[in-house]
Amino acid sequence: MNTSLFGMEPPAPLSRDILGAGAAVLAGFALSVEDEVLCALMSVVEQSPFRNMVTPGGFRMSVAMSNCGALGWITDRTGYRYDLIDPETNCPWPNMPTAFQKIAVAAAEEAGFPGFVPDACLINRYEPGARLSLHQDKNERDFTQPIVSVSLGLPATFLFGGLEREDKTRRIQIVHGDVLVWGGPARLRYHGIAPLRDGEHPQLGRIRYNLTFRNAG
């Protein structure tokens, strides 16, 4: 019997180290907690709404962002940085929900990084056509702590490069519930998201959300 006809296909097995040392795709790792995570996400963005920030070069980002946790990542004409205060609300960022914290710590451990202490979660919202150009996550203080990235909603093509901007980039298809972790020797690898293809996700419609957990220090 073809169980996929009935939507009962088990998640693909966890695939590790296909991306090189320190990086792993944990396929479907967030599926068992998707309801808690989505509910927590909606409550966070009610407090600190999504906004399209401006890069130091003056470009409005196509990805809309918010944050939760003690520190939030922001960009404006003066540069990129972490801040304790949301510049839109002038209040501290919303607390990191327990469901967020738990999935981030569990995924890090599963990928070989026990003891992850996330104090910042950048929340990205992609609409069709939105993209994130190749960059390194390097505004954090402690590069011994990994990056944990939870994807929800529409599928995306994750671009995973090397330690130099010019290095060859791999294209990885990620779907709702997948978690990517990169740390150790992979911590400063360039990465980005190709322009989001239009589609309709059963729960989230024409949207992709991504939660990126860091220890920003």
Under the binding rule (CB under 5 A), the answer on residue 178 touching Fe ion is no
Closer to Fe ion at the Cβ: 2 or 138?
138
Under the binding rule (CB under 6 A), the answer on residue 66 touching ligand SIN is no
Under the binding rule (CB under 6 A), the answer on residue 215 touching ligand SIN is no
Beta bridge partners of 180: 25, 149
Query: Residue holding tokens 């599928």?
Result: 155
| Piece of 7-15, 27-35, 136-144, 160-168 that binds Fe ion (CB under 5 A) | 136-144
Residue of 103, 193, 207, 216 interacting with ligand SIN (CB under 6 A): 193
Please list every residue from 94 through 153 that binds ligand SIN, using CB under 6 A.
Answer: 122, 124, 132, 149, 151
Q: Please choose which of ligand SIN, Fe ion, none residue 178 contacts, taking the beta carbon within 5 to 8 angstroms, the exact cut-off set by kind.
A: none
Beta bridge partners of 77: none
Q: Assess contact for 192 and 135: CB atoms under 8 A.
A: yes
Closer to ligand SIN at the Cβ: 63 or 99?
63
Under the binding rule (CB under 6 A), the answer on residue 212 touching ligand SIN is yes
Q: How far is the CB of 5 from ligand SIN (least distance, A)?
A: 30
Closer to ligand SIN at the Cβ: 40 or 150?
150
Closer to ligand SIN at the Cβ: 145 or 212?
212
Under the binding rule (CB under 5 A), the answer on residue 137 touching Fe ion is yes
CA gap 178, 171 in Å, rounded: 15
Closer to ligand SIN at the Cβ: 48 or 151?
151
Closer to Fe ion at the Cβ: 176 or 187?
187
Torsion, CA 143, CA 213, CA 66, CA 95, rounded to 10: -110
Binding footprint of Fe ion on the chain (CB under 5 A): 137
Binding footprint of ligand SIN on the chain (CB under 6 A): 122, 124, 132, 149, 151, 158, 191, 193, 210, 212
